[in-house]
Amino acid sequence: MDILFIPISLVAGGLLAVQAGANTQLSKATGSPFAATVIQVLIAGLLLLIIATATGTVTALGGLGNVTWWHATGGIATAIYVASTILLFPRLGAVVTVGLFITGQMLASFGLDTLGVLGVPQQPPRATTLAGLAAVLAGVLAIIFGQTGATASLALSRIGWIGLALIAGAVLPVQGAINGLLRHDLGAPFVVGAISFAVATLSMLLVLAATLVFTDTPKPQFNGLATMPWWGWIGAACGATYVTTVFTAIPVIGTAAAVGLTVAGQQIASLFVDRFGWFRLPQRELSALRYAGVVLLLGGVVLIRGF
C-alpha cells in the first residue's frame, strides 16, 4: 500500500503542470484569468463534494462550526496558485515557472520545518538541507538563463513575475499545513478539500470583483467556452486530484516523500509541456543548461527531503 503512493504522488505533481496548461485555455475562452480561476476552483470543489457524498463522509461538514476559523483558510493559497499559473506560463514558460514554484515551495517548507509553526514538527536545519537549498537555487538560475534568448537584463525585466512565482509556490506548503490542521479537526480529507476549494472560490470572486471595479480589466466573456477544446476543462480534476493525494499520501508515506515526489512530478511534466508545446502553449527549446538546472533542482529536493 505504501509503495502505491509513490507513483500516485509523482503523477499528482505532474498534474499541476497539466492544470496550468488547461487553465490557460480556460482563461483565453473567458478573456479573464480571474474568471477562469473562479470556474476552475468551483468545479474542483463540487467534484470533491460529490466524492465526499459518495463515500459517506459529507456529514463531517457539521463539525465545521467547532473548528478554529483560520484552519479553514487554506483555500486562499489555491486561488493564488491557480491564478498565478494562468498569468505566468505564457510569460515565463512552463519549466521556468514550475522551477520558481518549486523554489518557493522548498524555501517555505524549510521555514516551516525550522520554525515548527502551523502544526509542523520543528526540525533543526541539517547540513544536507542547506546544501539542498543551495542546489535548488542554482538549478532554478540555470533553468532561467538556459532558456533560449534569456539574459540577465531580461530576467531583471521580469523580476515582478519571478517574485509572483516564488510567492505562489511558497503558499502551497503553508496551505498543506493549514489543511492538515483542518483534517485533524474534521477527520475527512474529501470534505477538507471541498472546504478548501469553496474558500478559494470566494477568494477569487472577490479578486474578480475588485479588478472589474478598480481597474480597466475587460469584463469576462463566456462565448468562447463553447469552442474551447475539451481538455480546457480538466484543470479542476487535476487540482482536486493533487489536493486529495497530498491529504491521503502524507499520513502513509510522510510529508517529506509526498512533497518531494509531487515536486519531481511538476518539473518532469513541465519539461514535456515546454518541449512539445502541449496545451497550445509556446514551444520552447530546452538547452543543455536547462536540463542541468532540472537535474540540480531535483537533486536539491532529494537532499532537502532526505530520501
Q: CA-CA distance, 88 to 239, in Å (whole number)? A: 17
Q: CA-CA distance, 45 to 150, in Å (whole number)? A: 39
pLDDT on residue 43? 92
Q: CA-CA distance, 107 to 104, in Å (whole number)? A: 5
- What backbone torsions phi and psi does residue 267 show, to the nearest 5 degrees? -70, -40
Residue 304: pLDDT above 80?
A: no
pLDDT on residue 50? 94
The DSSP code for 118 is T
Residue 124: pLDDT above 70?
A: yes
Band the pLDDT of 255: cuts 50, 70, 90.
low
Band the pLDDT of 253: cuts 50, 70, 90.
low
pLDDT on residue 196? 92
**CA angle (275 as vertex; 27, 89 as ends), nearest 5:** 30
The predicted model gives 290-298 an average pLDDT of 76
Predicted TM-score (pTM) of the model is: 0.79
The predicted model gives 134-160 an average pLDDT of 68
Q: CA-CA distance, 70 to 110, in Å (whole number)? A: 22
Residue 148: pLDDT above 60?
A: no
Count CB-CB contacts under 10 A for residue 130. Answer: 13
pLDDT on residue 45? 93
* In the chain, domain spans: 5-305
pLDDT on residue 25? 83
pLDDT on residue 242? 85
CA quadruple 124, 128, 130, 132: dihedral positive or negative?
negative
Identity at 205, one-letter amino acid code: L
Residue 1: pLDDT above 60?
A: no
